[in-house]
Amino acid sequence: MGEVYRTYDSGAGKVTALQGISVELAKGSFTAVMGPSGSGKSTFLHCAAGLDRPSSGEVWLGGTSLSGMSENRLTRLRRERVGFVFQAYNLLSALTVQDNITMPLRLNGTAVDRGWAEQVVFQVGMADRLHHRPAELSGGQQQRVAIARALITRPDLVLADEPTGALDSRAGAQVLSLLRDTVAALGQTVLVVTHDPVAASYAQRVLFLADGRLVDSLDAPTPAAVAERMSRLGER
């Protein structure tokens, strides 16, 4: 995205959530976004995913500019080219693991590519659970199903919003390793928003937001280095 500004008009006046963000996520890269509460992380994620429109500036997704797209085209682009992973998994409880994973293809009216589906299921380690329902799985397993669902359309970008927020540290580590493996093994581009320096350290690069600006970045991050940068931004 280039020179992205996002201003909200609230009753009390204008709030500028993003103040000129320019960043490129290389294909097949794993990036984490951190920043104090209110620094613009969610707004950044929403603009990158075409869920929100910048007030000015431009967002591209895999070479396509989102500027001026109709709501219908944006919705279709999100479904086909962005994979979402949420803190609360958001699986459909009545459906089996297999049907949850292939749900985006049914929504898009796309045929299941068996070879790819098998590779995705293998990658997330759920091959022996395909006929279970979400309630029969642990939190970590449910999040792995959600990651498979995000990958099934071969999206240009997988966006994960606090993907380990509801997990204990062991299950969280497995989910983060899995996200890292999808980058290495499948060439997936992944963007994670997190408050946790340990989670951020799984990424290849951490971007730091403060007051709607990109103020710092860190390559090959360690938890200690991430925590130190965050403390300089006023968070422990």
- Interface residues with ligand ATP (CB under 6 A)? 8, 10, 15, 17, 35, 37-43
Nearer to ligand ATP, 63 or 234 (CB): 234
Which three-class secondary structure state does DSSP give residue 28? coil
Tokens representing 179 are 């996200």
Nearer to ligand ATP, 39 or 143 (CB): 39
Nearer to ligand ATP, 48 or 101 (CB): 48
Q: How far is the CB of 76 from ligand ATP (least distance, A)?
A: 24
Nearer to ligand ATP, 97 or 161 (CB): 161
Give the integer Cα–Cα distance in Å for 142 and 88: 9
Give the integer Cα–Cα distance in Å for 221 and 181: 17
Q: How many CB atoms lie within 10 A of CB 41?
A: 22
Tokens representing 102 are 């292939």
Q: How far is the CB of 213 from ligand ATP (least distance, A)?
A: 12
DSSP codes of every residue in 129-170: GTT--GGGS-HHHHHHHHHHHHHTT--SEEEEESTTTTS-HH
Q: How far is the CB of 62 from ligand ATP (least distance, A)?
A: 24
Burial class (CB in 10 A: 0-12, 13-18, 19+), 231: exposed
Q: How far is the CB of 115 from ligand ATP (least distance, A)?
A: 38
Give the integer Cα–Cα distance in Å for 157 and 151: 9
Q: How far is the CB of 193 from ligand ATP (least distance, A)?
A: 7
Nearer to ligand ATP, 45 or 148 (CB): 45
Tokens representing 122 are 């293998």
Q: How far is the CB of 162 from ligand ATP (least distance, A)?
A: 9
Of 131, 80, 124, 84, nearest in space to 106 by CA: 80
Nearer to ligand ATP, 39 or 182 (CB): 39
Q: How far is the CB of 94 from ligand ATP (least distance, A)?
A: 30
Give the integer Cα–Cα distance in Å for 73 and 119: 29
Nearer to ligand ATP, 80 or 216 (CB): 216
